[in-house]
Amino acid sequence: MKNSSKNNFSGKNGKQYKKNSNSNFYSKNIKSSKNSIFLSQSEKNKGVNNVNESNKKKSNFSSSRRRKPINKSKLEISNNAAPIYKELANKKNFDDWIWGKHSVFECLTSDRAINRIWCTSEIFSSEKFYILLKDLKSKGVLIEEVSWNRLSQLTFGATHQGVALQLAYSKTISLEKLIELSKKNSSNPIILALDGITDPHNVGAIIRSAEAFGCKGILIPQRRSAGLTGTVAKVAAGALEHLPVSRVVNLNRSLEELKKNGFVVIGLSGDGQLSISKFHEKTPLVVIVGAEDKGISLLTQKKCDFLLNIPLKGKTSSLNASVAAAISLFQLTSN
C-alpha cells in the first residue's frame, strides 16, 4: 500500500512534472515563435527598407544624371562675389556720375557740362530723350547705346532705369568759337589736337603743358580720347580754367575746317622726315599728338601738311605723349 501510494504520488508528480515541462516547452515555443515572427517581420521591414534605399539610390542616380555637377570653385566665387562687388563700387569714384530717368533728364535740361552718356536703345529712341540726346551728340558729347546688363555693370548694380551720365569738369566750346578765340589776340596761334589719347593722366598733363607754353586751345575728338573728367582737371592743376577746349565729333573733318581758316597742320611722328628743330614756319598751327603706342592714325597723317620727329639720342625709341607735347610746344614757341 505504501509503495503503491508512493508510486501514485510519484505518478502524480510525474504527471505534474510532465505538465510543467510541457507548459515550459510550450511557453518556450510560443516565445520562440513570437521571436521568430518578430524576426521575420523585422526581416521584412529590412527588406522594405532595402528596397526603399535602392529606390532612393536609383532616384538619386537618375537625378544626378539630370543635374549638372556643381563646381565648388564657382560656388565659392558666387558666395564671395557680393562683398567684392561692393568693394569695387566703393573704390570707383561716382561723384561725377548721375543715373535714373528723372535725375538725368533734369541734368540734360540744365546748363551743366556733360562728358559722356550711357543709355539703352529704348531710352535713346524715346520721345522724352531723343531730341536732347541728338543735340548733345552734335556738340561733341559721347553718347553710347549699351544693354541693360552692361549699364548695371558700369554702375555696379545701381537702379539706373536705363540711363546714366558722367559730368564734365568744364564746358567745351564749338570749333568755330575756338578758331575765333585763337585768332583774337595772336597772329600765329597754336592749337593742340589729341588723337587716340585715352589716359586721363596724359590728357591732364598735356593740357597743363599747353597752357604753360601759351597754346590757344585744345581739340579733343569725341571718341578714342579721354574727356574732361575730374582726374583730367586734377592732373592739369588749374590749367583747364584758362584754356578753351573743343570736343568734336570727327577729328579729320575738323582739321579740314582749320585748314580753310589758314591753319597749317603738323603731326608728331617717329617716322617724320623733318626734325622739329628745323621747322621754322610762322603761321597758325595745329599740332597733333598721338598715343605713345599707336601714334597718329593713318587717316589723320594724310591730313597733315608736315610730319615732324623729335630726335632722340639714347636707346629709348619713343616718348610719353605728354612729354612729346611739352618738348614740341617748347621748340615751336621758341622759334
CA distance 261 to 258: 5
Give yes or no for residue 189 having a pLDDT over 90: yes
Residue-level pLDDT at 167: 86
Asked if the 175-334 domain carries CATH number 3.40.1280.10, the reply is yes
pLDDT tens digits for range 295-322: 899 999 999 999 999 988 888 878 889 9
Residue-level pLDDT at 2: 43
299 grid coordinates: 587717316
CA distance 288 to 224: 14
Handedness of CA 175, 178, 184, 188 (dihedral sign): negative
Contact 143, 136 (CB under 8 A): yes
Give yes or no for residue 88 having a pLDDT over 70: no
Mean pLDDT of the chain: 77
Give yes or no for residue 37 having a pLDDT over 90: no
Question: Are both 96-167 and 175-334 of the same fold?
Answer: no
Give yes or no for residue 78 having a pLDDT over 70: no
Q: What is the 3-state secondary structure (H, E, C) of the chain?
A: CHHHHHHHHHHHHHHHHHHHHHHHHHHHHHHHHHHHHHHHHHHHHHHHHHHHHHHHHHHHHHHHHHCCCCCHHHHHHHHHHHHHHHHHHHHCCCCCEEECHHHHHHHHHCCCCEEEEEECHHHHCCCCCHHHHHHHHHCCCEEEECCHHHHHHHCCCCCCCCEEEEECCCCCECHHHHHHHHCCCCCCCEEEEEECCCCHHHHHHHHHHHHHCCCCEEEEECCCCCCCCHHHHHHHCCHHHCCCEEEECCHHHHHHHHHHCCCEEEEECCCCCEEHHHCCCCCCEEEEEEECCCECCHHHHHHCCEEEECCCCCCCCCCCHHHHHHHHHHHHHHC
- The fraction of the chain above a pLDDT of 70, given in percent, is 72
Where exactly are the structural domains of the chain? 1-67, 96-167, 175-334
Give yes or no for residue 202 having a pLDDT over 70: yes
In this prediction, residues 254-277 reach a mean pLDDT of 92
Pick the more confident residue, 127 or 60: 127
- Where do we find the cell 551728340? 137
Residue-level pLDDT at 169: 83
Residue-level pLDDT at 334: 84
pLDDT tens digits for range 210-228: 999 999 999 999 888 888 8
* Residue 122 one-letter amino acid: E
39-48, 185-194, 264-273: which has the minimum mean pLDDT?
39-48
227 grid coordinates: 574727356
Residue-level pLDDT at 287: 96
What is the fold, at CATH topology level, of the domain defined by 96-167? 60s Ribosomal Protein L30; Chain: A; (3.30.1330)
Give yes or no for residue 10 having a pLDDT over 80: no
Give yes or no for residue 30 having a pLDDT over 50: no
